[in-house]
Structure 1
Amino acid sequence: MNHRPELLAPAGSWEALVAAVQNGADAVYLGGKLFNARQSAQNFDNHELTRAVEYAHIRGVKIYVTVNILLADEELEEALGFLRFLHNAGVDAVILQDLGLASLAREVIPELSLHASTQMTVHNIPGVRLLQQAGFERIVLARELSLAEITDIKQATGADLEVFIHGALCICYSGQCLMSSLIGGRSGNRGKCAQPCRLQYQLVDEKGRRLADPGRVGEYLLSPRDINTSHLIPQLIEAGVNSFKIEGRMKRPEYVATVVRVYRKIIDRALKNPADFRVTADEARELAQIFNRDFTPGYLLGNPGSDLMSFKRPNNRGIRLGRVKGFNQDNKTVEILLEEPLQVGDGIEVWVSEGGRRGIEVNSILLQNRPVDFAPAGTLVGLTIPGKIKPGDRVFKTHDAALMERARESFASAREIRKIPLQFYVRARLGEPLYLRVTDNQGFTAEGLSSEACQQARNRPLTFAYLKEQLDRLGNTPFALADLQADLAEQVILPVKEINELRRRVLADLAQKRAAAWQPSGPAEHVYQQRVQTALRKIRTHRPAPREPLLAVNVTDITSLQAAVSYGADIVYFGGESYHSKGIITPSDLQQGAEFCRKNGVSLVLNSPRILHDRELPNYLSLLQHVNDLAIDGILAGNLGLLQIIRDYTDKPVIGDFPLNIFNSAGIHFLKEQGVARAVLSPELNIKQLQDLAAVSPLPAEVLVQGALPLMSSRYCPLGSVLGNFATGKTCTRPCRGREYGLKDRLGLIFPLEVDRYCRMHLFNAKDLCVIEDLPLLLDAGIAVLRIEAKKENHAYVARAVNHYRQAINRYRHGIRDQRKDREAKEDLERLSKAGLTKGHYFRGVI
């Protein structure tokens, strides 16, 4: 294969960086102390970042820095300063999520290479094209894509594509998860995800009745396995993927060392001989041993259904060690027939029949009643394990001491594993200093002269063999002697310390040249500051004209649409997305809805799915063509791909929906440049941030004020996987049709669950957002549209909610503030939500 992909490794600490580089990574991604999506990792301060860049570049490895969170307006200037620091430090690219920051970066630091984070949820061809046009040099694709989809994107766009190949999976499309944020205030979009998906849930019906036995199915219904694509590396290379990304900035350096080392061998083997490619048993075992929640190829081979999931445990399961055979009464040990080797220092876990799991570190092993430090596979050993252990209980090795020690040696030792081959040339002449020149495989050269001159040799002159021996003492450097040419025309001698010092100086010079070669050029300080102030002034000086507030409602059935119109909605979103529980919306439903809205003087806007894979786009595009003939007043676009292509199919106004994660005024300006007519702001913004944005927004601003907000959108469906028998090679029985379901957490809260026409799961907050008592704060700020999110609700809910908000808006317009009526409205709306109400992030914001 001519195409050589990059192996990209994670580093959450300095040790992990060294582990990645020494074990064969081509590039490393890491985060600074600010603005990255793994705030819980150790990360790197600015001094360490500079040091990391130098360390990696000397060894021919690239450094990418994650700045992949959403940013508020008050953070933009500091973030730009951080990007400039990174550029000046020589990083090879920054990985961004925020559309506004990316737009500013292209204007202020155009020399900086930008990569689009997977948090941007890029999953179709038009989305990739939009980001290419926006100046991104690489796109990190959503993890929900198949090999066929990746291939199509590569062939259609030619983009530099990055794909995750190993590590933890998010159950939700990255960038579309509000679960941690709305439940606990720890936002994944701000780098603080608390991983509530790894907790226990029960699948329940509309009456809260449990539908699956946790003992049989498991309780971790949102916890996926880890992705492992080792056996698919040739196919990924063939698909044209440019960068193979290992997940794991939260993992320890031993994990990084092991996974990078194994994938380095696998990728090199696939490149050398793809026809005879295989993953060895040892490689598969090491990947499983270092960490696994069970493995899955993810969506690369299609939707695996329940085979994606680790229903019975959300953490490392290790590898199977064997089963308990019995209990030795004489020495009081549990007897285990080993299927894998075991040594003192290993960690094991017994999956006991009663009481969960028992984990210990092995401190002693009895083999044939004698203590040993090591026992091979196939032997019966005795171990001291507390608790109630029974014959037949399974035993897993969760910690392999030898594997960990091997990994640790790769980054804890002063000796370097990764070596750059050098060509050495030496010339020795009587009465002259010794001359040394070294040249690396990239053409960099360094040279030098010894401090002392060569003297006449009386007994032991310099020889080729002796010089090679001295020059090859490179264990603590990143260099290796590949070839030596020596011009030793005369019998001369030079003290060994002179040779060693000359070697040290020349190699230090070469290292500095390799590091300096990556140093970028950029604008002078005064030019940079002028650019920053010009860019920030442009996005902060707009003053929108006063406008009458409008009430919008998002619904997914015709009776709810009619209720919304009848009770006072100004705008209805309808038609482009629907759920199986309510039945799929047809073109005739859309036409009926459009006619009803037109007769009543209400705007109808076609809503859209936040996720549309390329093979789903034709259906939606045909719908767009159809609406040109209807009285449709706009298109609600929830993904970047639709922003790219809507204008090719209709001249209707486009509203940028909240899944686009607009968090700052620069993001609003980006949408305006894309032809968007109105921006729905992120529901993670607090009231002060919304007020500030509305004051400078060049577009009318819309916010969500009522309804169960979507927590996540996932290609995985728990209904199909748990109840519908959906797994690899099996067809779902579609239990979702015509019924309502939810996921019940440990506190008894039920999170409603819907399945759309593409069999994607949408999980909603248990508590309804409600800010009816605080509408004046939003309306005083100039928010143009208040939205009720009611896609999963029935017409009765819609009627009451719209009626209350219509009356509250009318009171505001007439200058009436009636707290009693606001309170009564809230109390009535609370009766519509089984779990009660929340004000979301309006008064608490996100971390």
Structure 2
Amino acid sequence: MKRVPELLAPAGDWDALVAAVQNGADAVYLGGKGFNARRQAPNFTARALAEAIEYAHVRGVRVYVTVNTIIADEEMEEAARFLRFVYEAGADAVIVQDLGLLRLARIVLPELPLHASTQMTVHNTAGALLVGEAGVRRIVLARELSLREIEALKKGTGLEVEVFAHGALCICYSGQCLMSSLIGGRSGNRGMCAQPCRLPYTLCDAGGRAVAKPEEIGAFLLSPRDLNLSHHLPALAAAGVDALKIEGRMKRAEYVATVVRIYRRLLDRLAAGRFFVLPEESLTLAQIFNRGFSSGYLFGRPGRDLMSYRRPNNRGVPVGRVLAYDRQREIATIKLNLPLRVGDGIEFWVSEGGRVGAEVRRLLVDGGEMDAAPAGAVVKVAAAGKIRPGDRVFKTADAALLREAQASFNGQEIRKIPVVFRVHLREGEPLRVTVADAAGHSGAATTQSLAVRAEKRPLTLELLREQLGRLGNTPFELVELAGEVGEGLFIPVSEINAVRREAITALAQVRARVPQPLAEGLFAARLKDAVRAPNPGARGATVYLAVSCGTPAAVKAAVAAGADRIYFGGEEFRFRAADGDGGAGLAAVADYVRAQGREFFLLTPRVAKDAELAAALAFCQRTPAGALSGVVAGNLGLLRALIEAARVPVWADYYLNVFNLQAVTFLQERGAKGAVLSPELTLRQVEAMAGRSPLPLEVLVHGRLPLMVSEYCVVGAVLGGMGANRACSVPCRGRRFALRDRLGVLFPVYPDTACRMHIFNSQELVMLRFLPALVRAGVAGLRIEARLEDAAYVSRVTRAYRQALDAALGGAPQAYEKIEEELAGGDFTRGHYFRGVV
């Protein structure tokens, strides 16, 4: 048998758990009521979670509990106690996103295996090594990695790697999306994503004029197709992938049952050395749910072939076309290309009014009523709407498929575990029964009665096999019986049944393998050690003003207007190609800034795959000593690599979701010299952190914040013709674009020179009035995000903040309401400083 990856299935509720287990999952992932990235799923209460772990373990299935959100300081102790509960309930691992929780877990529960969530945005070898060194056993890799990149990362780290194989795709790198958060206050990093990416948008120029018509290409420009790697399992196994993950904790149990069943078959064939996918299996995967299918980024960037522009939800499978429609009777005549049954759900793709859905309640074939009709038949069904001849018909729900799926989680044990019974029976002794599985787990029981001479029907191995094999609706089946049975002996059948039940129960308890509870004193001591307030780090004599700039001209404007620190570099945006200075001499810019007595920090991208990371490191190593005041790491891999290689202080950027003091301490312990806090924190939370932080902390106070970064580029796909086998014509060079939503709001879109798309908030963050509060909070620095802006903008904004900061530091704050309105055109946001996130 060949080695195959673990099949990991979602369980958003109890039915989905049972569906996953009974249909062949090797492991399931599920969450409690809090601290998980799918808080809108039903999820599990504490009691139900413990029962779920026991249920799965008895049946040989591992359980990974999701604690994969960012966590506030005031929640840390509760999170630690939840981890303790999960460990004592027997969970096989916990999936985490928050760097602070990772640190806490290693101190409080070193016995508990940890997996790094895809929300950690691990997409390069150095990032994987960093979290591996911090105690993580498995990495759930970013979905944007290609097969070659997955294989290289696996070889370069030796860690377990898990990849998504089937289900919904996020358009943004997981853990890097603030779209739902900044638009509506529902944070994806807190498990409450409202999925604004699945809504309609129009691609426009910077002035709001449409450059692509939704009616021609579709309106759902950020809605990807679903991932389906069912045909590529041999390549994934050969690349060293340890686990294949099915996405879907928000999906119904029928979906989980069906997808797991198909993937189990495919992996079993792969293990047997004869891999193939039947057409009917592909059809089943499409029928249960699809937005169209894609292989994601497994073989490179697919461009528009990744996307489902015309609809963001289930499209079903094409079942036929309309031949005629009787408007008075509201009856459609359809020529079928697939079977159709009473109870199926269908949808007509009409040219006016969107889609028309219907349930097949009656099926007329040749004038007679039937329960089912085969492919090729002409049928009549009732449906109301603007249906016309030629309209396509899709089957969105298959009643028979749903019944088959439901049968797998209705309480019947489908997945049986082979066991061997051994018996020992001699006259004057009790019957001793032992039952064992292939892994060596066993349970035993002994009758109360002693064996006596039989008056009628003596016990034999065959009779004992019949009684012991009556395992009914347990997860076990007898495959072998061995032992010693004396001749002519008798034990009551009731006692044989009792020892069978007792031995099986004992075996189940052993298989459930609940660990020993952690001593309260030990846990309390560890928790106290973990949450002990760190020694506050040294602060500068005053609060600095930092400005992120995109051009040398903007840098000069910021310096002239009073910036203390300049950030430069990071992603280069293609709209600047016409400016002539976007990529000009970093060294020259650094020399200028230092000559003016200011600090110069190099920004690095938040996405840098291995080759890009190497280029960033090479630049830092070539830079003359003293040219840089520091470097800002945009991702975990750059953080690790820069701390090892750079000769200057390394700061962690806000892309690392620094949301609590534990995360700050985690960064400090790895060599970081400062951190930029998450823009999802409130002012109160910033105040609580800044006074106790072991590192200097910086906060964002002004600018247009990024909502998402994606390997998919809407400009390149829609205007540049970018597809799986088609190069992009680079229409973004020297141009600015935006996405317009249903309310007419424009969100700027900027592709970078690596062809990644960056979407920015429609409103600018403006905190000018509240600089005194931030100064009192004890932050080390205030940052203006102006990489998109020209020199005139940078000069105006920097000067206003310089004056406001000087006034606040001098104890004479002024009124800046009018200036704020002028800076942002009267339309701006305070971000999450006062509203927080849910």
Q: TM > 0.5 between the two?
A: yes
CA apart distance, 1:626: 2.5
Asked if 1:440 corresponds to 2:437, the answer is: yes
Asked if 1:279 corresponds to 2:277, the answer is: yes
CA apart distance, 1:333: 2.5
Asked if 1:824 corresponds to 2:821, the answer is: no
* Residues 334 and 382 in structure 1, CA contact (< 8 A), matched pair in contact too: yes
* Residues 111 and 522 in structure 1, CA contact (< 8 A), matched pair in contact too: no
CA apart distance, 1:571: 0.9
Q: In structure 2, what is the equivalent of residue 548 of structure 1?
A: 542
Q: Which one-letter code corresponds to 2:203 in the other structure?
A: L
Asked if 1:702 corresponds to 2:701, the answer is: no
Cα-to-partner distance string for 1:653-673 (whole Å, 9 max, x where unaligned): 111100010000111111111
Q: In structure 2, what is the equivalent of residue 528 of structure 1?
A: 523
2:571 to 571, 577, 580: 577
Describe the shift of the 1:793–1:256 C-alpha distance in structure 2 as closer, same or farther (beyond 3 A).
same
2:420 to 420, 423, 436: 423
Asked if 1:845 corresponds to 2:836, the answer is: yes
2:556 alignment partner, SS class:
helix
* Residues 547 and 782 in structure 1, CA contact (< 8 A), matched pair in contact too: no
Tell me the distance in 2 between the aligned counterparts of 1:328 and 1:788. Answer: 64
* Residues 36 and 69 in structure 1, CA contact (< 8 A), matched pair in contact too: yes
Q: Which moved more, 1:742-751 or 1:806-815?
A: 806-815
Asked if 1:247 corresponds to 2:238, the answer is: no
CA apart distance, 1:617: 2.1
Asked if 1:451 corresponds to 2:466, the answer is: no
Percent of aligned positions that are identical: 53
Describe the shift of the 1:46–1:329 C-alpha distance in structure 2 as closer, same or farther (beyond 3 A).
closer
1:389 alignment partner, SS class:
coil
Count of aligned pairs:
836
1:615 to 585, 600, 611: 611
Tell me the distance in 2 between the aligned counterparts of 1:34 and 1:198. Answer: 25
Asked if 1:657 corresponds to 2:653, the answer is: yes
Cα-to-partner distance string for 1:201-243 (whole Å, 9 max, x where unaligned): 0000011110111111100111111100000100000000111
Q: In structure 1, what is the equivalent of residue 164 of structure 2?
A: 164
- Give TM-score scaled by structure 1 length: 0.96
Where do 1:624-643 residues align within 5 Å? Answer: 624-629=620-625, 631-643=627-639
Give the CA RMSD over aligned residues.
Answer: 1.7
Tell me the distance in 2 between the aligned counterparts of 1:537 and 1:61. Answer: 37
* Residues 543 and 695 in structure 1, CA contact (< 8 A), matched pair in contact too: no
Asked if 1:396 corresponds to 2:394, the answer is: yes
CA apart distance, 1:625: 1.9
Q: In structure 1, what is the equivalent of residue 146 of structure 2?
A: 146
Q: In structure 1, what is the equivalent of residue 37 of structure 2?
A: 37
Tell me the distance in 1 between the aligned counterparts of 2:81 and 2:520. Answer: 11
1:490 to 487, 490, 514: 487
Q: Which one-letter code corresponds to 2:440 in the other structure?
A: G
* Residues 539 and 696 in structure 2, CA contact (< 8 A), matched pair in contact too: no
Describe the shift of the 1:65–1:444 C-alpha distance in structure 2 as closer, same or farther (beyond 3 A).
same
Asked if 1:348 corresponds to 2:346, the answer is: yes
Cα-to-partner distance string for 1:228-277 (whole Å, 9 max, x where unaligned): 0000100000000111111111111111111111101111111211xx42
Q: In structure 1, what is the equivalent of residue 736 of structure 2?
A: 740
Tell me the distance in 1 between the aligned counterparts of 2:272 and 2:787. Answer: 53
Q: Which moved more, 1:591-600 or 1:798-807?
A: 591-600
Q: Which one-letter code corresponds to 1:348 in the other structure?
A: I
Describe the shift of the 1:596–1:542 C-alpha distance in structure 2 as closer, same or farther (beyond 3 A).
closer
* Residues 679 and 701 in structure 1, CA contact (< 8 A), matched pair in contact too: yes
1:386 to 384, 387, 393: 384
* Residues 572 and 583 in structure 2, CA contact (< 8 A), matched pair in contact too: no
Q: Which moved more, 1:568-577 or 1:588-597?
A: 588-597
Q: Which one-letter code corresponds to 1:289 in the other structure?
A: Q
Asked if 1:510 corresponds to 2:510, the answer is: no
Tell me the distance in 1 between the aligned counterparts of 2:499 and 2:457. Answer: 20
Tell me the distance in 2 between the aligned counterparts of 1:771 and 1:246. Answer: 42
CA apart distance, 1:694: 0.5
Cα-to-partner distance string for 1:506-533 (whole Å, 9 max, x where unaligned): 1111111221xx3334642112111211
Gapped runs of 5+ residues in structure 2? none
* Residues 330 and 383 in structure 2, CA contact (< 8 A), matched pair in contact too: no
Asked if 1:602 corresponds to 2:611, the answer is: no
Q: Which one-letter code corresponds to 1:108 in the other structure?
A: V
Describe the shift of the 1:604–1:332 C-alpha distance in structure 2 as closer, same or farther (beyond 3 A).
closer
CA apart distance, 1:111: 1.0
- Give TM-score scaled by structure 2 length: 0.97
Tell me the distance in 2 between the aligned counterparts of 1:470 and 1:207. Answer: 80
Tell me the distance in 1 between the aligned counterparts of 2:655 and 2:196. Answer: 20
Q: Which moved more, 1:569-578 or 1:111-120?
A: 569-578
CA apart distance, 1:153: 0.5
* Residues 547 and 784 in structure 1, CA contact (< 8 A), matched pair in contact too: no
2:775 to 773, 779, 790: 779
* Residues 576 and 620 in structure 1, CA contact (< 8 A), matched pair in contact too: no
Q: Which one-letter code corresponds to 1:56 in the other structure?
A: A
1:162 alignment partner, SS class:
strand
Tell me the distance in 1 between the aligned counterparts of 2:413 and 2:34. Answer: 31
Describe the shift of the 1:496–1:687 C-alpha distance in structure 2 as closer, same or farther (beyond 3 A).
same
Describe the shift of the 1:568–1:545 C-alpha distance in structure 2 as closer, same or farther (beyond 3 A).
closer
Q: In structure 2, what is the equivalent of residue 804 of structure 1?
A: 800
Q: Which one-letter code corresponds to 1:360 in the other structure?
A: A
Tell me the distance in 2 between the aligned counterparts of 1:575 and 1:33. Answer: 42
* Residues 564 and 799 in structure 1, CA contact (< 8 A), matched pair in contact too: yes
* Residues 53 and 91 in structure 2, CA contact (< 8 A), matched pair in contact too: yes
Asked if 1:81 corresponds to 2:81, the answer is: yes
* Residues 221 and 307 in structure 2, CA contact (< 8 A), matched pair in contact too: yes
Q: Which one-letter code corresponds to 1:155 in the other structure?
A: K
Q: Which one-letter code corresponds to 1:43 in the other structure?
A: N
Describe the shift of the 1:256–1:694 C-alpha distance in structure 2 as closer, same or farther (beyond 3 A).
same
Q: In structure 2, what is the equivalent of residue 793 of structure 1?
A: 789
Tell me the distance in 1 between the aligned counterparts of 2:537 and 2:150. Answer: 43
* Residues 2 and 270 in structure 2, CA contact (< 8 A), matched pair in contact too: no
* Residues 578 and 585 in structure 1, CA contact (< 8 A), matched pair in contact too: no
2:256 alignment partner, SS class:
helix
Q: Which one-letter code corresponds to 2:442 in the other structure?
A: T
* Residues 64 and 92 in structure 2, CA contact (< 8 A), matched pair in contact too: yes
Cα-to-partner distance string for 1:276-297 (whole Å, 9 max, x where unaligned): 4221112111111111111101
Where do 1:460-499 residues align within 5 Å? Answer: 460-485=457-482, 487-499=484-496
* Residues 335 and 377 in structure 2, CA contact (< 8 A), matched pair in contact too: yes
CA apart distance, 1:769: 0.3
Describe the shift of the 1:587–1:309 C-alpha distance in structure 2 as closer, same or farther (beyond 3 A).
closer
Tell me the distance in 1 between the aligned counterparts of 2:583 and 2:181. Answer: 36
Q: Which one-letter code corresponds to 1:127 in the other structure?
A: G
Gapped runs of 5+ residues in structure 1? none
Q: Which moved more, 1:472-481 or 1:455-464?
A: 455-464
Asked if 1:64 corresponds to 2:64, the answer is: yes
Q: Which one-letter code corresponds to 2:377 in the other structure?
A: T
* Residues 536 and 695 in structure 2, CA contact (< 8 A), matched pair in contact too: no
Tell me the distance in 1 between the aligned counterparts of 2:46 and 2:805. Answer: 50
Describe the shift of the 1:588–1:752 C-alpha distance in structure 2 as closer, same or farther (beyond 3 A).
closer
Tell me the distance in 2 between the aligned counterparts of 1:352 and 1:828. Answer: 48
* Residues 568 and 602 in structure 2, CA contact (< 8 A), matched pair in contact too: yes
Tell me the distance in 2 between the aligned counterparts of 1:723 and 1:545. Answer: 49
Tell me the distance in 1 between the aligned counterparts of 2:613 and 2:540. Answer: 37
Tell me the distance in 2 between the aligned counterparts of 1:451 and 1:502. Answer: 9
Q: Which one-letter code corresponds to 1:527 in the other structure?
A: L
